[in-house]
Structure 1
Amino acid sequence: MTSKAAGSPPPDNHTPQQQAMPEVNNLTTADITASLKAGFSDFLARPVMSGFFGLFYAVFGILFVWCLIWLGKIWMIIPAAVGFPLVAPFAAAGLYEMSRRLQSGESFGWSEILAVMANQRKREMGWMAFVTLFIFWIWTYQIRLWLAITLQNASFSNFDSFLNTVFFTPQGWTFLAIGTCVGAILSTVLFSVTVVAMPMLLDWETNFVSAMLTSIRVVTQNPVVMLSWAAIISVTMLLSMIPAFLGLIFTLPILGHTTWHLYQRAVSPAEK
């Protein structure tokens, strides 16, 4: 019987190679400005298609609030409106693909963009969606918990009574203070793990854990710039929701396109 030499692997043994982590670059506020200009340019290049994604997000928000009213969950309207931007990165997947194709000079139509979005369910984007929705669930659960603790004796027969209780009573102020602090922590966590991870998963053949770690590295290496970008996103999204969510038709696409270009500046090209 002939035996193989010790230590020599069989010829058909293909050991998977670990993909090298990308290099993270240092960013400045000039990168945000340049990315915003590029994002606005992408929006103007395809305003109807870009606006469609914003319209879809706005309509979903309107229906979501209407369902809460119909179910009598008045207390959920403000927490839902504040937490709604948390799922925006996942909603912007189509915008990332549009910016990628515009940047590379590729032609595309509705079918190409929608096909890429549909194919993400076979890749790692689904896990990122799970992470996003899980944090959103934590947000709504802890709001309900603190609502029960701080406003336990209050009753909300309508939205106006809820607003009066929250904004014009000491218990409401306590609820707002706690909710703001907890929401800021959860928003920072979610922003840190998704801001680069979402576009990276669309651009790379990589796993969602590596994408999240890269995203965290970008934020920790550029805390001032990235948290400034997070503040811009939060304020813009919240202001856009005031006119019945309709402002999102314009702001969500611009922010989505901008995020793609900021990702390109934050992560150096590497072998894919």
Structure 2
Amino acid sequence: MVAQDLSLNDLRAALRLGWRDFIAEPVYGLFFGGVFAVSGIVLSYVILTYGEFSLLIPAAAGFPILAPFTAVGLYEVSRRREERSPIGWRNVLGAVKGRGDEQILAMGVIIFVAFGFWVIVAHAISAIFLSNAGAGSESLAFLFTSSGIAMLAVGSVFGGAMALAFYAMTVVSLPMLVDRNVDLITAILASIRVVRTNLFVMFIWAAIIAFALFVAIATVFAGLLIALPVLGHATWHLYRRAITVGG
């Protein structure tokens, strides 16, 4: 069953337990946080190297879409700690295979396609505004012009809607696929039900995640070494509260 009584206390409890898991097994958290941080640095370097500065902000804004898939190994760490089972790198890295049915890998493909789609849409939006701006639009100063601000506003609406949609699809589904032998559609529908029936609390959780990742990315991605593992472990514990036995 899907819990219909999530509260802010559940979010505080999830964060507390997430921090506890990170402190208990920091090497896994630092590894996955490092992988995510290095990926962000490489992506930013490639974009800036090829001079596509207009893609930098939308890529940074859409980058958190990839976080739930990166955190799959962290869900497994929390699951094994909860069951008092041996952890080990083989088990943690093997979590991406799920229950042997490749459902998590399929979700990963969906997430990466979504990120690529968002970058394409963002590029199209920027191209429209840049073409109307004329000279001077090739520098970051363009973002502080009326056209630049309008571009950011339009991009934020599309990006925000897309991010919320994928948040609703993944916030519970990925931990559920790690934990249970269910199919992708069942997990996604369960995730959407959790968000729909606990809209205020899950919106606050989305805001916490977005703010934490924004701050982490703003520190030249270094903050992801802490933010990603704590949020990943915390998401596992929130999932355990949101989906009751038999749900």
Fold shared by both chains (TM-score > 0.5) = yes
Query: Quick check: 2:98–2:104 contact (8 Å CA) kept in 1?
Result: no
Q: CA deviation at 1:49?
A: 1.8
Q: Is the 8 A contact 1:96 1:260 kept in 2?
A: yes
- Describe how 1:1-272 pairs up with structure 2 within 5 A: 22-118=1-97, 122-152=101-131, 153-154=134-135, 157=138, 161-162=139-140, 164-166=141-143, 168-270=144-246
* Residue segments in structure 1 that go unaligned for 5+ positions in a row: 1-21
- Structure 1 156/37 Cα, relative in aligned 2: closer, same or farther at 3 Å? same
Q: Would the aligned equivalents of 1:150 and 1:172 in 2 still touch at CA under 8 Å?
A: yes
Deviates most, 212-221 or 23-32: 23-32
Q: Which moved more, 1:22-31 or 1:238-247?
A: 22-31
> 1:225-260, CA deviations, whole angstroms, 9 ceiling, x for partnerless residues?
001000000011011011210100111000000000
TM-score by length of 1: 0.86
Structure 2 SS opposite 1:132? helix
Q: In 2, are the aligned partners of 1:154 and 1:165 still within 8 Å (CA)? A: no
> Aligned partners of 1:96 and 1:196: how far apart in 2?
11
Q: Distance in 1 between matches of 2:53 and 2:125?
A: 15
CA-to-aligned-CA distance 1:34-70 (integer Å, 9 cap, x gap): 0000000000001122111101110111111111122
Shift of 1:135: 2.0
Q: Is the 8 A contact 2:68 2:174 kept in 1?
A: yes
Counterpart-to-counterpart distance in 2, 1:110 and 1:59: 20
Q: Distance in 2 between matches of 1:124 and 1:242?
A: 33
* Change in CA separation of 1:175 and 1:154 when aligned onto 2, cut-off 3 Å: farther
Query: Size of the alignment, in residue pairs?
Result: 245
Mapped to 2, the partners of 1:120 and 1:136 lie a distance apart of: 25
% identical equivalent positions: 37
Which amino acid letter does the alignment assign opposite residue 265 of structure 1? R
8 Å contact kept, 2:130–2:137: no
Q: CA RMSD in A?
A: 1.6
4+ residue runs over 3 A deviation:
22-25, 118-122, 154-157
Unpaired segments of 5 or more residues in structure 2?
A: none
Q: Which entry has the higher C-alpha Rg, 1 or 2?
A: 1
Whether contact under 8 Å (1:25, 1:268) holds in the other structure is no
One-letter identity of the residue aligned with 1:179: G
Which digits, 9 at most, give the CA deviation of each residue in 1:141-186, with x for residues without a partner?
22111112222125555xxx22x101x2100111011011111100
Where 1:245 maps in the other structure, the secondary structure is coil
Instruction: Give a deviation string over 1:16-46, Cα, whole Å, max 9, x none.
Output: xxxxxx4344200110000000000000001
In the alignment, is the contact (CA less than 8 A) between 1:97 and 1:202 conserved in 2? yes
Q: Which amino acid aligns with 1:146?
A: I
